[in-house]
Amino acid sequence: MKYFSTLLCCFFVLTVQAEKQSCKQEFTPISTIQGDSNASELVDQTVWASGIVTADFRGKQRLGGFFIQSIQPDSNSHTSEGLFIHENNLQLPIKVGDWVALQGRVTEQFGVTQLNEVKKISVCSSGHQLPKPFAIILPLNDFDLEYIEGMHVTLSKPYTITDVYPYIEFGELVISSQMLMNPTSIHRPGAAVDAMIKRNRNDQLTIDDGSLKKYNQPIGIGGDGKHPLNANNQIQLGQKIQTIGVMHYAFGQYKLQPTKPLKLGAHLPSVQVKPQETGGQLKVASFNVENFFTTLDNGQEICGPLKNFGCRGADNKKEYERQLAKLVAVINAANASVVGLQELENNQDQSIKALVKGLNHEARKNKWAYIDTGILGNDVIKVGLIYQVDQLTPQGDFALLNRDADPNFLENKNRIIVAQTFKANNGHAFNIATVHFKSKSCRDAAGVYLDQKDGQGCYNPTRVEVAEQLSQWLKSDPTGQQVKATFIVGDFNSYQKEDPMVQLKSAGFYNLADKYLPAENWTTSYRGSVGSLDYILVNEAAQNLTTGLTQWHINSVSMDQFSYNTEPFNENMSKPENFYQAGPFASSDHDVVIAGFKF
C-alpha cells in the first residue's frame, strides 16, 4: 500500500512537470464554457481551459474541487469568468494563485457548470494576484447570480445577518441589506404585500462554509468572529458581516463560499442581558413561555385536561430544570409588576405554580404570586397571570372570556382569555387581559379558514372573530370593578397590519409599539424575516398612563439550538454542553414586551 501511494504521488508530480506544453494549448475561454444561459452549450464536450486558482475546496466532505477564473475576461457581463473544477485529488500540487491549464469534460451537475474527468493539468506559473472580486450588491434587484457563478466575489459592504437557523446544521448564514420585515407587519394585505414579498426575496444571499456535510465539526466561529460558537458567543440576527470567496451553486441556490475568515460586527443595541428601561412606577409585560409543562413528554398522549394530547415541553428532568432556569432569568430580569403568560401547560395550577416557585426561590423571598384560574377549557395549553405581591393586589375575581361569557366564543378554536383587575399601592387600579389567539398553522383548516394567500395565514377569520368578541367583552367590565384603564397583553398570532389588529384598533385598543417604537419592530423571526405577534394594547384611559415600551430581543435573534433541549443534533453529534446557559437568550421563540406606566 505504501509503495502504491509513493507511485501515485510521483505520477501526479511527473504529470504536472511533463505537461508544461499544456500551457501553450489553444484554450476555450471560461466565458464560452459558461455561456449566457443557465446551462452550458458545450455539455459533454472535452475542452482545454486555463485560469487562476481562486479557491480550493478539495477534501472529504468539502465541495470536492477547486475554482479557476479567467486571466483575460470578455466584455459580456452575462457570461461568468469563473469555473468549478470537479477534481478532489489532494495529491495534485496546486494552490490558490496558481495559473493552471487543464483538460476536462463539460458537465452540468445539479445546476453547476463544471469540468469533470480532468485528465491533464499543468501549473503554468504560481504566485499570481487573484482577480479583483466582483462586489455583490444587496438587494439583488433581479441580478442573476448565474452571471458570476464560480467567480471570485465579495460583498460591496458589510450586510446584515437575517437568518441563523441553518448555521449549525449546514454552516449557512443568510444575509440581507437590512432586517427584513414580514410584509403584513408594514402593509395591509394586497398589492403592497405582494411587492414586498418579491423585494425580500431579492434581498437575501446565503453564505456557506465550503462543506457539503451536515453538522460539520468543529462547529464554526461565534459572534465575536474569532472564537468557537457557544451559548456565550452567539451569532445573532442583526449582526453585520463581511467576507470574500467564490460564488457556487448547490442544493438549488447560489451560495457564497468564503475563502477568508468571516468578519462579524456588533450585536444589535436591543440585544442585552437586561431589557431597556421603559420608565414609570409600574410595568406590565407579555411573555410566551413556549410550552412550559410540568408533565414530562414521554411520547404518549397524557397531557391536556382530557389526557388526549401529547406533551410539548421538556422530555426529562434535566430539560425541565434548564427550561425553568431560563424562564426565571427572563421574568426576574424583566421585573414587571404583572406578566401575562402564554403556553403554560393547561393543568390545575401545577405549571404556573412551579414557575412562581422558581421565581421566588431565585428572588429569595415571596416576590411573586399567581392568579389561580384552574384548568381553562380542553386545550393542552393555557394563558396565565403572575404579579409582584409588594406592588399589586388583585381586586375581586378574575373573569374568563369563554362560551359561558359569550355563546359565540368557540372554545375548540380559541384559547380562553383571562382578565383581572389589580390595585397598586397608591390606590389606583387597572385591568389586564392575557390572550393567545389561534396560530397561523393550517392543521385541519378548510374553506375560509385556509390560507387565502394574502399574507395572513390560515384561520384569519377565527382571529378576527375573537378580536371582536374580546373588545366587546372588555367594554362590558367583565371583572365588575368599574375600572377604566385596560391593558391587553399576549400572543395575537397576527402581524401589525393584519385584520385582527386593525379590528382591535378600530374598537379603541391601541398598540403601544405604534407610539414608542419605529414601524420596523418585531418579537419573532421566521425564515429570514421578522415581525411582531406579541403586543401590549391599551384603551384610551390606559394609554394616558404609559411612559414607554420595549421589545426585549432575546429570542427572535437567537439560534434555537441554544435552548434548554438536550437532544443530540444527529446520531453522530451530541449537543455541546457549552450550548446551554441559564440566561435569557433562547428561552422561548418569542421576545418579551414590556410597558411602563404611572398614575
- CATH code of the domain in which 100 resides: 2.40.50.140
DSSP-derived secondary structure for 129-192: PPPPPEEE-SS-TT--GGGGTT-EEEESS-EEEEE-TTHHHH--EEEESSPPBPHHHHS-SSHH
Q: What percent of the chain has pLDDT over 90?
A: 90
Domain contains 325: yes
Residue at a domain's end among 229, 264, 299:
264
Domain contains 147: yes
The enclosing H or E element of 502 equals: helix 499-506
Domain that holds residue 188: 134-264
Domain contains 275: no
- Give the position of cell 399567581: 370
Per-residue b/e over 460-496, b at no fewer than 16 CB within 10 Å? Answer: bbbbbbbbbbbbebbeebbbebebebbbbbbbbbbbb
Q: Are residues 227 and 327 in the same domain?
A: no
Average pLDDT over residues 354-369: 97
Domain contains 277: no
Q: pLDDT at position 19, please?
A: 52
Q: Are residues 244 and 357 in the same domain?
A: no
Q: Are residues 525 and 568 in the same domain?
A: yes
Domain contains 374: yes
- Computed over every residue of the chain, the mean pLDDT equals 94
> 90: buried, middle or exposed (CB in 10 Å: 19+, 13-18, 0-12)?
exposed
- Give the position of cell 392575557: 434
Average pLDDT over residues 326-349: 98
Average pLDDT over residues 451-457: 94
Average pLDDT over residues 527-549: 97
Q: pLDDT at position 270, please?
A: 84
Describe the crossing of helices 317-334 and 350-363 by its angle, rounded to 10 degrees. 60
Strand partners of residue 292: 344
Say if residue 6's pLDDT is above 50. Answer: no
Question: For residue 147, what is the domain's CATH number?
Answer: 2.40.50
The number of folded domains in the chain is 3
d(CA 515, CA 363): 33
Query: Quick one: CA torsion of 8, 11, 13, 16, rounded to 10 degrees?
Result: -130
Q: Are residues 114 and 145 in the same domain?
A: no
Q: Are residues 95 and 153 in the same domain?
A: no
Q: Are residues 302 and 237 in the same domain?
A: no
Q: Are residues 107 and 149 in the same domain?
A: no
d(CA 49, CA 69): 10
Has this prediction a pTM greater than 0.85? yes
Domain contains 36: yes
Domain contains 269: no
Say if residue 456's pLDDT is above 70. Answer: yes
CA distances to 66, 70, 94, 117, 212 from 58, rounded to whole Å, are: 6, 20, 11, 15, 11
Q: Are residues 188 and 304 in the same domain?
A: no
Say if residue 300's pLDDT is above 70. Answer: yes
Residue 424 DSSP label: E
Residue at a domain's end among 125, 143, 170:
125
Q: Are residues 229 and 363 in the same domain?
A: no
Question: For residue 475, what is the domain's CATH number?
Answer: 3.60.10.10
Average pLDDT over residues 24-33: 93
Average pLDDT over residues 455-472: 97
Work out the pLDDT band at 4, boundaries 50, 70, 90. Answer: very low
Q: Are residues 257 and 307 in the same domain?
A: no
Say if residue 431's pLDDT is above 90. Answer: yes
d(CA 209, CA 248): 11
Residue at a domain's end among 72, 99, 125:
125
Average pLDDT over residues 525-550: 97
Q: pLDDT at position 346, please?
A: 98
Q: pLDDT at position 334, please?
A: 97
Please tell me the least confidently modeled range out of 27-31, 89-93, 364-368, 589-593: 89-93
Say if residue 11's pLDDT is above 90. Answer: no
Kindly give, in sequence order, each residue whose CB lies less than 8 Å from that of residue 194, ignoring residues fewer than 6 positions away: none
Q: Tell me the three cell numbers of residue 574.
A: 451530541
Q: pLDDT at position 548, please?
A: 98
Q: Are residues 320 and 234 in the same domain?
A: no
d(CA 432, CA 284): 9
Please tell me the least confidently modeled range out of 143-152, 197-206, 265-274, 479-488: 265-274
Q: pLDDT at position 311, please?
A: 97
Q: Are residues 77 and 180 in the same domain?
A: no
518 upstream amide cis, omega within 30 of 0: no
Domain contains 49: yes
In the chain, the amino acid numbered 485 is A
Average pLDDT over residues 556-576: 94
